[in-house]
Structure 1
Amino acid sequence: MTSPGTSAPAPRATVVGEALIDVVHRADGHVEEHPGGSPANVALTLGRLGRPVDLLTWIGTDAHGDAVRSWLAESAVDLAPGSDAAPSTSVATAHLGADGAATYEFDLTWDLAPEAAARPRTLVVHTGSVAAVLDPGAAAVRRVLDDARGTATVTYDPNVRPTLMGSPDDVRDRIEDLVATSDVVKVSDEDLLWLYPGADLDEVASRWQATGPALVVVTLGGDGAFARTRGGRVDVAAPRVTVADTVGAGDSFMGALVHGLWDADLLGDARRPALASVPVDTLTTILDRCVRVAAITVSRAGANPPRLAELD
Structure 2
Amino acid sequence: MKNVDVVALGDLILNMVYRGKTEAGFNLYERQPAGATGNLLSQIVRLGGTSALITTVGDDDHGKFLYEYAKESGIDVSGVVISDKVETRMMFVHFDEKNDRHFLKYESRRTDVETGVDAVDFDMIRSSRAFVIPMWFYKKEKPIYAACQKIIEVVREQNGLLGLDCNWRGNTHTQEEMTSICDAALTSDIVKLTDVELEHFFGEKDILKGSERLVREKNKLVAVTLGEDGCLLRNRNGYVYQPTYAVDVVDTTGAGDSFMGALLFQATRKGFSIDQLSVDELKSIAGFANACSAGSTRKYGSMDVMTTMEDARWIMENIPLKQPTYDF
TM range (shorter): 0.7 to 0.9
Deviations 1:158-188 (A, max 9, x none): 10122xx424856421221111221010111
Q: Distance in 2 between matches of 1:142 and 1:279?
A: 33
Contact 1:179-1:212 at 8 Å conserved across structures = no
1:237 aligns with 2:236: no
Name the CA distance, whole Å, in 1 between partners of 2:186 and 2:150: 15
1:158 to 155, 166, 171: 166
Q: Write the distance in 1 (CA, Å) between the matches of 2:176 and 2:28.
A: 35
Q: Give the Cα separation in 2 of the matches to 1:30 and 1:224.
A: 33
Q: 1:246 to 1:79 in 2, by over 3 A?
A: same
Residue 203 in 1 paired to residue 209 in 2?
yes
Question: Are the structure 2 counterparts of residues 176 and 27 from structure 1 closer, same or farther at C-alpha, using a change threshold of 3 Å?
Answer: farther
Q: CA deviation at 1:225?
A: 0.5
3-state SS, counterpart of residue 81 of structure 2: coil
Aligned-pair CA distance for 1:74 = 2.9
CA RMSD of aligned residues (A): 2.2
In structure 2, the residue matched to 1:77 is 75
Amino acid aligned to 1:95: H
Question: Residues of 1 paired with 2:33 and 2:176: CA distance?
Answer: 28
Per the alignment, residue 282 of structure 2 pairs with: 283
1:14 matched to 2:7? The reply is yes
Match of residue 309 from structure 1 = 310
Change (3 A) 1:12 1:83: farther
CA distance in 2, matches of 1:161, 1:170: 18
Question: Structure 1's 48 and 207: CA in aligned 2 closer, same or farther, altered over 3 A?
Answer: same
Shift of residue 30, structure 1, vs aligned partner: 4.4
- Distance verdict in 2 for CA 1:26–1:289, change over 3 Å: same
Task: Return the TM-score normalized by structure 1.
Answer: 0.86
1:156 is displaced (CA, Å) by: 0.7
Q: Distance in 2 between matches of 1:27 and 1:46?
A: 32
Distance 2:204 2:5 in 1: 39
| Cα 1:232/1:37, change in 2 over 3 Å | same
- Deviation of 1:192 after TM superposition, in Å, equals 2.3
Q: Cα deviations across residues 20-47 of structure 1 (Å, max 9, x unaligned)?
A: 1111235785422211111111111111
CA distance in 1 between counterparts of 2:242 and 2:310 reads: 23
Q: Closer, same or farther in 2 for the Cα pair 1:43/1:277, shift >3 Å? A: same
Amino acid at match of 1:55: L
Give the Å deviation of 1:77.
Answer: 0.3
Of the candidates 257, 280, 283, which is equivalent to residue 263 of structure 2?
257
- Alpha-carbon distance change, 87 to 11 in structure 1, aligned in 2, over 3 angstroms: closer
Tell me the amino acid that sits aligned with residue 43 of structure 2.
T
| Helix, strand or coil at the partner of 2:245 | coil
Aligned match of 2:46 in 45, 48, 56?
Answer: 48
Pairing 1:266–2:274 present? no
Q: 1:132 aligns with which of 131, 137, 148?
A: 137
1:149 corresponds to: 156
CA–CA distance in structure 2, aligned partners of residues 148 and 62 of structure 1: 33
Give 1:184's aligned residue: 190
**1:286 aligned counterpart, secondary structure:** helix
Query: What is the identity, as a one-letter code, of the residue corresponding to 1:291?
Result: N
Q: Which amino acid aligns with 2:219?
A: P
Contact 1:26 1:96 in 2 (8 A): no
How far apart, CA to CA, are the structure 1 residues paired with 2:174 and 2:211? 17
Aligned positions, number? 295
Which amino acid letter does the alignment assign opposite residue 52 of structure 1? T
Report the secondary structure of 1:81's partner residue.
Answer: strand
Q: CA deviation at 1:134?
A: 4.2
Q: What do the CA deviations read for 1:208-265 (whole angstroms, capped 9, x no partner)?
A: 2222111111011111111121122111110001111210100000000011123xx3
Which ranges of structure 1 fall in alignment gaps of 5 or more residues?
A: 1-7
Tell me: CA distance 1:36–1:207, structure 2 relative to 1, closer, same or farther (3 Å).
same
The separation in 1 between residues aligned to 2:198 and 2:30, in whole angstroms, is 30
2:133 and 2:78 map into 1 onto residues whose CA distance is 14
Give 1:50 deviation, angstroms: 1.5
| 1:268-295 deviation per Cα after TM superposition (whole angstroms, max 9, x unaligned) | xxxx2x2221122222111111000000
Helix, strand or coil at the partner of 1:154: strand
**Counterpart secondary structure, 2:93:** strand
Could you tell me which runs of 5 or more consecutive residues in structure 2 were left unpaired when the two chains were aligned.
Answer: 22-26, 314-328
Amino acid at match of 1:306: T
Matched, 1:25 2:48: no
Within 2, Cα distance between the matches of 1:154 and 1:91?
Answer: 27
The one-letter amino acid of 1:53's match is: S
One-letter identity of the residue aligned with 1:16: L
Structure 2 contact 39–254 (Cα < 8 Å) conserved: yes
